[in-house]
A and B are shown apart, each in its own frame.
Chain A
């Protein structure tokens, strides 16, 4: 019988579970890219879509991307964390099963119920559609998110239990006893465990906040006389949303810690700056969310200052610990480049560079004139499309092809097209934000069409390249190894 403090065993069920995550992840990412590109093409007046259908696509794209990013990020974390602690394959599959139930509900809400309240379900919009969608449609969407949230919560609680069994406490697993102790560091504590512990802490708290606000929204839907404070709801929604989407990248970056040292032969071990940065981001990711509410002047002044200051500080661990550490690790290491490594390093660049416009937008003085312009999708597409997705793809490809990878010209072409077209797509968003073009408009004024048109072309190329990379991954999925 497997000891609860030993690593997980590599059963066929575990392998199949990982393959399911990879296959569903690739398919959903591609479909959601198509939905997003179609919305951009509608803005460009190249695809004739009624406004409501455009907003349905926008809602689907947002919810689908956030959800699949969470699932794929969790798959990367599970893939590596299970080497150090005993994780349950059942819980891992339960997360997928509950998420799929949630997805069906969300698809029904949008496709049948015409729900188009954006993925953020900003209270009280779900209940006040002016007759465009009904109460049950909004409830199906919100209920779908509840199912997905429950699935994730089960997974993170399983991770927490496994970490506690192996390391005794979350404090020790995060390395805080070492960080604040006087003894030499015990470098046997894997970076993966430190990162996973951070993710478990923030995700459990974030999802619980999400559950609270989702239930409050459901109550309001069916009992409209029970109304809630709109600012309180906004705080809860943005705390949940910010934590959730950020956690996806912090999970994906585990692939960098685990895989890059295998290319360079230089181990990536914990250090005091490493532990300090992960302790800091645990707090920062949860406390920084008021930077989404800088234009809510009803918020206390200290909260707005906190939002700006922590936005700035959040860049330091990313740039000076993870990105810097990876660059030092590969510097003149004699490594041999291949597609997984290219994707991982490019993903790290996308994350690091995307932090800059995020920090800029987190400044109150800038936010006053750039909040809810296309600057916002510009920066988050930078670190999701150019950061998260390449990190995930790189890790999954590595897991599938480690032993016998042969890189084709098509691989190289797809990588470069994805990177260049993706960068153009993101920079066009940023340029449009600079020119005050609003985000989340299904219909654009003629003065803004040029941005949407260039963005649509770039999006089409990026989706095609992603399709090739996705198919390459799916073709190799049968070869996946849990010990790659």
Chain B
């Protein structure tokens, strides 16, 4: 998902840059006949409807199958439930080991300030995340597909040792 977001963003930003460069490069040349912006605005009307159509496809394509498993909809019973409580500056997990393939539900909350519960695979890939907020429980469902130690980082700034607020979920091969 991260790579798709990066590549799509680069592509559309490059298109915008190319259009700007093309117009800017020719801006100091004056057209001999009277400038008529009408064709440009007819193109804009077409572009508008194309963007609206693309937006509808994008909205239904990304939201029809609701991205947050178990949120605001009926969902299968999880195999494991782990309560994850954020507290300056540590995570309290009532269990830290699960098996590959298990449907794990994290009941994410906080006892003092807002925290962000983010599960990392290695240092450079977030698997999933949810906000940890006092007074609320956000249920985050994850099915780990690879064994390993997954680091939990806090992604909502929570004070002096925010960057050090970490824990580990051990995902072991199922038996």
Contact = CB atoms under 8 A, between A and B. Distances in A.
A239 B65 CA distance: 28
A188 to B, nearest CB: 20
Nearest to A232: B135
A183 interface: no
Contacts of A327: 19-20, 23
Contact of B124 (A231, A293, A363, A435): A435
B59 interface: yes
Given A130-B159, A436-B124, A336 B28 contact: yes
B98 interface: no
A128 interface: yes
A2 B24 CA distance: 42
Interface in B9-55: 9, 12-13, 16-17, 19-20, 23-24, 26-31, 35, 37, 40-41, 44, 47-48, 51-52, 55
A436 B2 contact: yes
B115 to A, nearest CB: 10
A440 B159 contact: no
Given A52-B160, A364-B63, A297 B37 contact: no
A357 B63 CA distance: 19
Interface in A262-276: 266, 273
A360 B63 contact: no
B67 A334 contact: no
Contact of A363 (B62, B127, B136, B156): B62
Contacts, number: 229
A112 to B, nearest CB: 17
Interface string A404-418: 000000000000000
A368 interface: yes
A273 B72 CA distance: 37
Given A231-B135, A298-B136, A369 B126 contact: yes
Which range contains the number of A residues in contact with the other chain? 35 or more
A337 B133 contact: no
Contact of A118 (B6, B17, B155, B157): B157
A368 B62 contact: no
A124 interface: yes
B40 A331 contact: yes
Interface in A10-59: 51-52, 55
A21 to B, nearest CB: 29
Contacts of A118: 157
B159 to A, nearest CB: 6
Contacts of B48: 316, 320
Contacts of A323: 16
A55 B163 CA distance: 11
Interface in B50-100: 51-52, 55, 58-59, 62-63, 66-68, 71-72, 88-89
Contacts of B124: 435-437, 447
B160 A130 contact: yes
Given A52-B160, A297-B138, A440-B162, A122 B71 contact: no
A442 B154 CA distance: 13
Given A230-B135, A366-B1, A353 B13 contact: yes
B129 A316 contact: no
Nearest to B153: A438
B134 A230 contact: yes
A84 interface: no
Interface string A308-340: 110011001001100110011111111111000
A62 B62 CA distance: 32
A333 B17 contact: no
Interface in B127-164: 127-131, 133-140, 153, 155-164
Contacts of B159: 55, 116-117, 125, 128-130, 132
Given A230-B134, A370-B126, A434-B3, A328 B51 contact: no
B155 A229 contact: no
Contact of A55 (B8, B29, B35, B160): B160
B67 A368 contact: yes
B16 A320 contact: no
A365 interface: yes
Interface string A268-307: 0000010000000000000000000101111011000100
B162 A296 contact: no
Contacts of B5: 357, 360-361, 366, 370, 375, 434
A234 B155 contact: no
B113 interface: yes
Nearest to B21: A349
A209 interface: no
Contact of A435 (B2, B41, B89): B2
Nearest to A440: B157
A373 interface: yes
A167 interface: no
Interface in A191-228: none
A154 to B, nearest CB: 31
B16 A352 contact: yes
A371 interface: yes
A192 B105 CA distance: 52
27 contacts: A55-B159, A55-B160, A116-B159, A117-B159, A124-B113, A128-B113, A129-B159, A130-B159, A234-B133, A273-B41, A293-B131, A297-B140, A312-B59, A316-B48, A316-B51, A320-B48, A324-B40, A331-B23, A333-B30, A334-B31, A335-B27, A352-B16, A353-B17, A357-B13, A363-B58, A371-B116, A443-B164
Interface of A: 51-52, 55, 116-118, 122, 124-125, 128-130, 132, 229-231, 234, 266, 273, 293, 295-298, 300-301, 305, 308-309, 312-313, 316, 319-320, 323-324, 327-337, 345, 348-349, 352-353, 356-357, 360-361, 363-366, 368-373, 375, 430-431, 433-445, 447-448
Question: What are the 7 A-B residue pairs with the smallest beta carbon separation, nearest first?
Answer: A334-B30, A447-B123, A434-B6, A372-B155, A301-B72, A297-B138, A441-B163
